[in-house]
């Protein structure tokens, strides 16, 4: 079995079910954080900070879970 995959092949390979759920949760967290950051009203500083963390965590979770590959 060839264990070395480049990034393109890794992203195009099938993703395990668990990591598909993580990717979806990351996208949702990123969307919620983005919605809070772009809200047209003034929000407390703590909520703005949490929104920034949500966006960052969502993007990282989605990117990492996309590169997970099912074993054959």
- Rounded-to-integer distance, Cα 24 and Cα 20, Å: 6
Compute the average pLDDT of residues 11-31.
Answer: 92
3 pLDDT more than 70: no
- Rounded-to-integer distance, Cα 29 and Cα 63, Å: 13
Report pLDDT for 59: 95
72 pLDDT more than 70: no
């Amino acid at each position: 079995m060839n264990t070395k995959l480049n990034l393109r092949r890794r992203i195009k390979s099938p993703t395990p079910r668990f990591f598909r759920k993580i990717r979806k949760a990351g996208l949702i967290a990123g969307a919620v954080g983005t919605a809070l950051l772009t809200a047209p009203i003034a929000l407390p500083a703590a909520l703005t900070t949490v929104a920034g963390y949500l966006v960052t965590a969502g993007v990282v979770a989605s990117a990492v879970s996309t590169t997970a590959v099912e074993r054959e």
